Amino acid sequence: MSINILTPDVYNRIAAGEVVDRPYSVVKELVENAIDAGATEITVEIEGGGKQKIRVVDNGCGIEKDELKKAYQPHATSKLADAEDLFTVSTLGFRGEAIASIASVSRMSITSDVGQGAYALSCEGGVLGEVYSAAGARGTEVVVSDLFYNTPARLKFLKTDSQEEGDVTNMMARFILSRPEISFLYTANGKVKFRSLGEGLPSAITVVYGASTLENCLEIAADKHGIVLHGFIGNRNFSKPNRTYQSLFVNGRYVVNQTVAAAVTNAYAAYLMKRQYPFYVLFLDVPQEIVDVNVHPNKADVRFQDNQIIYGSVYAVISSVLDGNSRAVEYLVGVKEELQKEEAARSSAVQTAHAAPQTVASQPMMTYEEAKKELEFDVSPNKNAPSEPRFYIPDPVRYEVHAPSASVAIEKREDVFAENQRLLREKERAKQEHVDVKSLTFKGELFHTYLFYEAGDEAFIVDQHAAHERLIYDRLQEKLASRTVISQPMLVPYLLDVNAAEFAFLTKNFQILREMGFEIDEFGSGCVKVSAVPTELMDIDLNAFFGEVLASMESLRAIRLSDLLKDKLASAACKAAVKGGEFLTDAEAKKLLERMDGDMGLKCPHGRPVAVKVKRSEMEKLFKRIV
């Protein structure tokens, strides 16, 4: 087998598979370059989810005319000079792969002006043109068209335009939050999605999530052992249905890091219910020498020199604020100063000489190395103190793949055989629990709840509420399955504000929700409107329902009618069914039995049995007639 030396057009396309896998990653690389260029105003435009066109304009330092061709070369960067610089990376980009990778799979042009007139250079599928004079303002304009036009296999695996747009929008939201001092304008298909003015983090959060979110947040700032943590976290009662509302920026770079995520989640553990997630926009600033940013192809994660001290510091700050202990005053922005002002005002009012404003005593600062010794603790579960909650970061799960052995095949055959036997037994049991309605004689009722039927030497006791509830539940499910659901218009439409990822998820599943009986449509950017609900679910809690819908984003599973509406239908059936203690006439009891069609093995939607069979011999044993 001969070894081939790959040509630049081939290895650039291979590199593009790691660096540029989707439109959002193109936007990410280009905006990072604009930020590194010192831009204070950045405009991003996309069309067709970024597949057709991506345009990024900034007012940064620009690229010299003689440097334009270098910009397209692989491993060409202005941010590193030698290997030592990798240990102190302070810029967002540094590898020099992005432009070459993007240009190899698209039609790309760069126009830049450093104050001496604008020049442009185009590249199509990795083939460079010539530098020419162009019109443009100070800064740089990058246009990427027809992404992956020359790699149809990769183009085929892209998501729909709306889903790709949602991912780009989500990435732009992170840029607005990470650089609140920069003014961003982001449009998709000519519609303005985000417009930030660079007026600080509170303004940026309002632009991305709305003013109501900011009202439910606490601003924190802490400096522990050289690790600076600041930003906004949701209060104890403010939660979200998925993790798309969590943003972490390590030294200004957006990452998804399990160490910090575990620390925050464990701090909120006592305040959130199952499938609820905390909201936070946090900035973690650490010394550059203790963090490695060159560990992920897309720079989406970082590696800390000591995860334990990072976990301990973040957990200590967040838990103190949520628990409201004495240290929280030091971490909550503005609270300490406000308390000092109030104490000073009281002291002035009573004119007491010894009533000086009290301050919370601060512990002396430690260096990072001193903190490592101070925060050394065992993160494994404490077997000697099972009642004390302990939190730990699980080790990465490792999977091993082995060739299937003959014993595995035998076990599989045995499993299939056992499964078939179980199904046959269940089928036989169901057959035995089905009786002929004509053979049953109604004998009366007990406690206005239990109906008695006799058939030969057997008696059946039926729970009237459970039986009626099951029949209603089955009818509702049949309506959903046959798509004959009738919708009831709402007097006031229900509006649901969502982020970009949730919006794309909902619009993708609009048809399924409409088949359920919901009249749902887009209502502007980042908002959906529900105008009608199924008549059987008139009293449904829409906040809880859509919380469950959006929670399904976590597992990326498709919305299933039966799974999503099972609890709702069961609740509706329970309310509509005849209640225990409600008297039924003989005709109504007979009608109920006929609708059961003799199926005595039914269970109500909550799992309780509908009927219980008692044999004559069992009754005679109770009265000692037989032994």
Selected residue with higher pLDDT from 559 and 181: 181
* Residues contacting 99, CB < 8 A, separation 6+: 29, 33, 71, 72, 76, 108, 110
* Fold of the 216-350+363-374 domain: Ribosomal Protein S5; domain 2 (3.30.230)
Q: Tell which residue, 58, 113, 80, 473, has the closest CA to residue 294.
A: 80
Stretch 181-203: mean pLDDT: 95
Examine the pLDDT at 281 and tell me if it is beyond 90: yes
Under the banding of pLDDT at 50, 70 and 90, the label for residue 138 is: very high
Under the banding of pLDDT at 50, 70 and 90, the label for residue 551 is: confident
Burial (CB < 10 A; 0-12, 13-18, 19+), residue 154, is middle
Helix H or strand E segment including 178: helix 161-178
**DSSP state letters, 143-166:** EEESTTTT-HHHHHTS--HHHHHH
> Tens digits of per-residue pLDDT, 258-274?
999 999 999 998 898 87
Output helix, strand, coil percentages for the chain, rounded to the nearest 5: 40, 20, 35
Query: Using CA atoms, how far apart are residues 43 and 41, in angstroms rounded to an integer?
Result: 7
Query: Using CA atoms, how far apart are residues 580 and 114, in angstroms rounded to an integer?
Result: 82
Contact 241, 227 (CB under 8 A): no
* pLDDT score of 205: 95
The two three-digit tokens of residue 79, written as one number? 């941010």
Contact 381, 390 (CB under 8 A): yes
* Per-chain mean pLDDT for the chain: 80
Q: Name the residue ranges covered by the structural domains of the chain.
A: 8-204, 216-350+363-374, 404-432, 437-612
* pLDDT score of 194: 94
SS3 letters across 283-333: EEECCHHHEECCCCCCCCCCEECCHHHHHHHHHHHHHHHHHCCCCHHHHEC
Examine the pLDDT at 614 and tell me if it is beyond 60: yes
* pLDDT score of 95: 62
Contact 183, 196 (CB under 8 A): yes
* pLDDT score of 340: 67
* pLDDT score of 387: 38
Stretch 25-39: mean pLDDT: 93
Rg of the chain (C-alpha set): 33
If you search the block for the tokens 């464990």, which residue do you land on? 266
* pLDDT score of 353: 47
Examine the pLDDT at 189 and tell me if it is beyond 90: yes
Under the banding of pLDDT at 50, 70 and 90, the label for residue 556 is: very low
Under the banding of pLDDT at 50, 70 and 90, the label for residue 526 is: confident
> Tens digits of per-residue pLDDT, 77-117?
766 555 655 555 667 765 667 888 899 899 999 999 998 89
* pLDDT score of 409: 47
- φ, ψ of residue 342 to 5 degrees: the values are -65, -40
Stretch 180-185: mean pLDDT: 96
Examine the pLDDT at 554 and tell me if it is beyond 70: no
Residues in the chain: 627
Q: Give the 3-state secondary structure of residue 460.
A: strand
Examine the pLDDT at 493 and tell me if it is beyond 50: yes
Query: Using CA atoms, how far apart are residues 547 and 530, in angstroms rounded to an integer?
Result: 14
The CATH number of 8-204 is 3.30.565.10
Examine the pLDDT at 418 and tell me if it is beyond 70: no
> Tens digits of per-residue pLDDT, 139-162?
999 999 999 998 888 888 899 898
Say which range, 7-11, 261-265, 307-311, 550-554, has the weakest mean pLDDT: 7-11
> Tens digits of per-residue pLDDT, 362-414?
445 555 555 555 544 444 444 444 333 334 344 444 444 444 444 444 444 55
Selected residue with higher pLDDT from 293 and 506: 506
* Within this chain, domains 8-204 and 437-612 share the same CATH topology: no
Stretch 282-290: mean pLDDT: 89
Say which range, 87-101, 291-305, 390-404, 525-539, has the weakest mean pLDDT: 390-404
- Amino acid sitting at position 620: E
Cβ neighbour number for residue 607 with a 10 Å cutoff: 8
Under the banding of pLDDT at 50, 70 and 90, the label for residue 570 is: confident
Query: Using CA atoms, how far apart are residues 281 and 247, in angstroms rounded to an integer?
Result: 5
The two three-digit tokens of residue 22, written as one number? 């989707």
Say which range, 347-361, 371-385, 496-510, has the weakest mean pLDDT: 371-385
Query: How far from 561 is each of 41, 79, 384, 511, CA to CA, in Å?
Result: 46, 52, 47, 12
Under the banding of pLDDT at 50, 70 and 90, the label for residue 314 is: very high
> Tens digits of per-residue pLDDT, 395-408?
444 444 444 444 44
Q: Tell which residue, 451, 470, 449, 469, has the closest CA to residue 461.
A: 451
Contact 155, 21 (CB under 8 A): no
* Fold of the 437-612 domain: Ribosomal Protein S8; Chain: A, domain 1 (3.30.1370)
